């Protein structure tokens, strides 16, 4: 563990906080409403979203439940630079990386992705998903009540993008 005390938030906490904010915003949920659902004040939610407060395991579980996402959502696309490297005692086997272990849990193996695309895509994806235009588009899309119409809209957008 890093014994250096710092007043700046950990990059991992900042990343998880940005994912909390992203999902909350995509759902059209206020910080106050999220706080109420979690038994927190909106100020506490703000601190989580900025990465000023570290999100514990039970709170992460509650967030995933309220925001209706798997826990892995909060770490998806996190640059490898931000991943904490655990200390390994001398003589102990080196632990496998998250990228290697996710393949054993049915995730996409990193080796099957074009080299160098994972981190670039993750940061671009996060930037796109944070734009007001994207949020408006997603909200409008999910306001279409008829699943068949939604599917046709998706097909139309895909055909226009090609």
Kindly list the domain boundaries of the chain, sorted by start residue.
1-83+115-130, 132-162
The more confidently predicted of residues 83 and 43 is 43
How far apart, in whole angstroms, are the C-alpha atoms of residue 8 and residue 52? 8
The predicted structure's pLDDT at residue 111: 43
The predicted structure's pLDDT at residue 78: 85
The predicted structure's pLDDT at residue 81: 66
pTM for this predicted structure: 0.57
Spatial contact of 52 and 12, defined as CB atoms under 8 Å apart: no
The more confidently predicted of residues 81 and 144 is 144
Average pLDDT over residues 4-12: 76
The predicted structure's pLDDT at residue 84: 53
Instruction: Note the pLDDT tens digit of each residue in 109-158.
Output: 444 444 554 444 455 666 676 677 888 888 888 888 898 998 999 899 88
The predicted structure's pLDDT at residue 108: 42
DSSP 8-class letter at 102: H
Instruction: Note the pLDDT tens digit of each residue in 15-70.
Output: 999 999 989 988 889 999 999 999 999 999 999 999 999 999 999 999 999 999 99
How far apart, in whole angstroms, are the C-alpha atoms of residue 148 and residue 32? 34
| Cα atoms in the Cβ-side hemisphere of radius 13 Å centred on 119 | 8
The predicted structure's pLDDT at residue 102: 40
Spatial contact of 26 and 129, defined as CB atoms under 8 Å apart: yes
Residue 95, pLDDT above cutoff 70: no
- Structure tokens that stand for 127 in this block: 């930037």
Query: For the domain with range 1-83+115-130, which CATH number is right: 1.10.10.60, 3.30.360.10, 3.40.50.300, 1.10.260.40?
Result: 1.10.260.40
């Amino acid at each position: 563990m890093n014994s250096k005390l710092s007043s700046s938030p950990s990059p991992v906490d900042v990343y998880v906080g940005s994912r909390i904010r992203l999902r909350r915003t995509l759902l059209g949920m206020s910080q106050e409403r999220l706080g109420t659902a979690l038994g927190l004040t909106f100020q506490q939610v703000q601190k989580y979203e900025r990465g000023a407060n570290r999100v514990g395991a039970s709170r992460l579980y509650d967030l995933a439940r309220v925001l209706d996402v798997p826990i892995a959502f909060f770490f998806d696309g996190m640059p490898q630079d931000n991943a904490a490297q655990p200390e390994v005692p001398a003589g102990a086997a080196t632990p496998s990386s998250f990228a290697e272990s996710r393949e054993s849990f049915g995730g996409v193996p990193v080796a099957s992705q074009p080299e160098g695309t994972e981190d670039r895509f993750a940061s671009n994806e996060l930037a796109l998903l944070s734009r007001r235009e994207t949020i408006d588009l997603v909200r409008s899309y999910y306001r279409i009540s008829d699943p068949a119409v939604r599917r046709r809209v998706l097909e139309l957008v895909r055909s226009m993008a090609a």
